[in-house]
Amino acid sequence: MIMLSRRKALLLTAAAALSPTLSRAAEYPNRPITVIVPYAAGGAGDVTIRLLAPSLEKTLGQPLIIDARAGGGGTIGARAVASSTADGYTLMLGAANNFAINQFMFPKVKFDPLTEFALITKVADVPSVFYIPAALPVKTLAEFVAYAKSQAGKLSYASPSVGTTPHLAVERFKQATGIELVHVPYRGAPPAMQALLANEVQLYLAGWGVGRAQVESGKVRAIAVAAEKRLPGVDVPTLIEAGYPGFVASNWWGLAAPKGTPAAICDQLHAAVVTALKDRAILARLETLGFVAVGDTPAAFLKSAEAEAAIWKQTIERGKLAVD
């Protein structure tokens, strides 16, 4: 009889326990993958995943099922993914607030995405551009701040919804400058932009793709972009250039899986996204939309999401913005 040492026996037991997980990862994927976007169809997230889908399907060898599941400020779709089996067949393409804002904005929900998900990669960054109506008697960010101070409490700003990056970025800007602006939330970007065009609100933050046509037609002005550097081909200064160090705000989109998803599967999905983001046609389309391709590693994505979460937590607490 062959006698096993205690050490060898423990190693064999551990290997046996791991074998189903390793087997699933080795076979992945062998059936369609569902990607839930926790917002309405036709929005930025839906457009992004559909743009990448052909390349992802080619690389992964399986079709993607895109499920736009809106509601609850993105929490309904997020919870659906978080409660799914951690096998890589149900993913979420979520916005910045799904990862770094909602847990502070809606504390009663008691859902922390940074612990409930395995983050895979930030797919695309959408830097916030500061738009103002052409009718406003200012042309620069400094002039806007001075004008807002002279009109204390009389100006307003739009957002596509409470708790979104455009909402909180303006609140953060208010805290940095001391200006007073009244928040007017709308149901999505189109009505918010329409309100700006009509001068019903005097400030709106959105991606370049949302306001580009209006800027080029002279109906609105883009006075700053909350990014580390200027957008390619867009002559709009950053807030950092305007004297606000470290002021970066964007409504980025990231891919995530339920916590416990094998690292090998997450790495495979990350590699597939990186491949898609090297496609010139995809990059050109993203640039037209005002999106910046990212494709960072799972570790880098988690680190940046945690850092951003700390900023939004401070902004929400300082402004007492949490929704009970």
Answer yes or no: do 63 and 102 share one domain: yes
**pLDDT digit string, tens, across residues 26-75:** 699 999 999 999 988 888 899 999 999 999 999 999 999 999 998 877 88
Boundary-marking domain end, from 183, 211, 226:
226
CATH of the domain at 139: 3.40.190.10
- Enumerate residues 6+ apart whose C-beta is below 8 A from 252: 95, 96, 122, 123, 124, 125, 126, 294
pLDDT at 273: 98
**pLDDT digit string, tens, across residues 274-286:** 999 999 999 999 9
Q: What type of residue is 144?
A: F
Boundary-marking domain end, from 226, 261, 278:
226
Nearest partner of 45 among 127, 123, 161, judged by Cα: 123
Answer yes or no: do 177 and 104 share one domain: no
Answer yes or no: do 200 and 113 share one domain: no
Q: Say how many domains are in the chain.
A: 2
Measured between alpha carbons, how far is 94 from 101 in angstroms, rounded to an integer? 12
pLDDT at 236: 95
Answer yes or no: do 282 and 315 share one domain: yes
Is residue 119, in this structure, part of any structural domain at all?
yes
313: its two tokens: 């937590």
**pLDDT digit string, tens, across residues 198-228:** 999 999 999 998 899 999 999 999 999 999 9
10 Å Cβ neighbour count for 18? 11
Answer yes or no: do 134 and 120 share one domain: no
Answer yes or no: do 312 and 174 share one domain: no
Is residue 297, in this structure, part of any structural domain at all?
yes
pLDDT at 190: 86
pLDDT at 11: 47
pLDDT at 2: 42
Is residue 313, in this structure, part of any structural domain at all?
yes
**More confident position, 10 or 127:** 127
pLDDT at 37: 95
Is residue 235, in this structure, part of any structural domain at all?
no
Is residue 282, in this structure, part of any structural domain at all?
yes
pLDDT at 25: 60
Answer yes or no: do 83 and 109 share one domain: yes
Is residue 6, in this structure, part of any structural domain at all?
no
Least reliable range by pLDDT among 26-30, 167-171, 261-265: 26-30
Answer yes or no: do 158 and 192 share one domain: yes
Is residue 233, in this structure, part of any structural domain at all?
no
pLDDT at 196: 97
Answer yes or no: do 261 and 121 share one domain: yes
pLDDT at 161: 84
Answer yes or no: do 218 and 192 share one domain: yes
Q: Are 297 and 263 in contact (CB under 8 A)?
A: no
Is it the case that residue 131 has pLDDT exceeding 70?
A: yes
Q: What type of residue is 222?
A: A
Answer yes or no: do 96 and 138 share one domain: no
CATH of the domain at 65: 3.40.190.150
Is residue 44, in this structure, part of any structural domain at all?
yes
Is it the case that residue 153 has pLDDT exceeding 80?
A: yes
Domain that holds residue 43: 32-125+252-319
Answer yes or no: do 171 and 218 share one domain: yes
Ramachandran quadrant class, 176 (left: phi over 0; alpha: psi -120 to 50; beta: rest): alpha
